[in-house]
Amino acid sequence: MKKKIGFIGLGVMGKPMAKNLLKAGYSLIVYDIRPEPVKELIAAGAQQATSSRDVAEKSEVIITMLPNSPEVKEVVLGKDGVLEGARPGTILIDMSSIAPLVSKEVSAKAKEKSLQMLDAPVSGGEPKAIEGTLSIMVGGPAEVFEQVEEILKVMGSSAVLVGDIGSGNTTKLANQIIVALNIAAMSEAMVLATKAGVQPSKVYQAIRGGLAGSTVLDAKVPLALKRNFKPGFRIELHIKDLANALDTAHELGVPVPLASQVMEIMQALRVDGKAKDDHGGIIQFYEKLAKVQVTD
């Protein structure tokens, strides 16, 4: 029999993830502070909860998909939060991208209430959330992961247990550094080609099958050429992830000079009013410097 799932956080990522669970036949109880996505999920067959505590009281597995560490702490540890309502043995899966130390802190509090927790952040942005093909990076006990692996694989094409609690978010930080640097490199290259008078769409087709080819290149160049910076993953959220990456790196004594540079590029775009653009919009920083626009 399929477990009853509670889902808290129906944003750009959470809403399609929750819809995929419904499509797979899971019984779903949902909560978000905004009424619009809740109404959409109710129309698709979910039940509505009145609070995070209410979700927890009615669920065997609770999934949270929230913006950052403070929101996760508030939803799980705060008044009318998950820990106030969850029964012993309930599994909490935090799929938010947060600081690894906060994952460990929340897990320790959950354990005091006899709850089991995984941190399971995702990569792939809104398109893969809609498709159910996210990459899911999981930290926590192997026996807990095995109990919910089937649920995770409804939302992702892969779900990999990478280590103890907090390891999922450490892996996500590594992922976000690589993605940010890839987008920045792609942006530099396409602006250079355009300024040199070479058609960027031809450059893309010429290099995508070689060593410079990447998932980032295939995902972001076609959108940039169409001037489509509608967010699949907003710059402001990547800033949040890089801030967590830099803090974690500094705590561990790991220099991250390239990540620091891309962070400042994103901060410049935020000042320019582009914080809600897709992170592929990093290319606009280079375009402004070179006084050229990359188009199809």
Give the catalytic positions in this structure: 172
Classify residue 94 by its DSSP letter: E
SS3 for 96? coil
**What is the Cα–Cα distance from 177 to 173, expressed in whole angstroms?**
6
| Beta-carbon contacts of residue 224 (< 8 Å; ≥ 6 apart) | 187, 190, 280, 283, 294
Count Cα atoms within 13 angstroms, Cβ side, for 16: 17
SS3 for 4? coil
Q: What distance lies between CA 138 and its chain's CA centroid? A: 13
Ramachandran region of residue 101, left (φ > 0), alpha (ψ -120 to 50) or beta?
Answer: alpha
Give the torsion sign (CA, 255, 256, 257, 263): negative
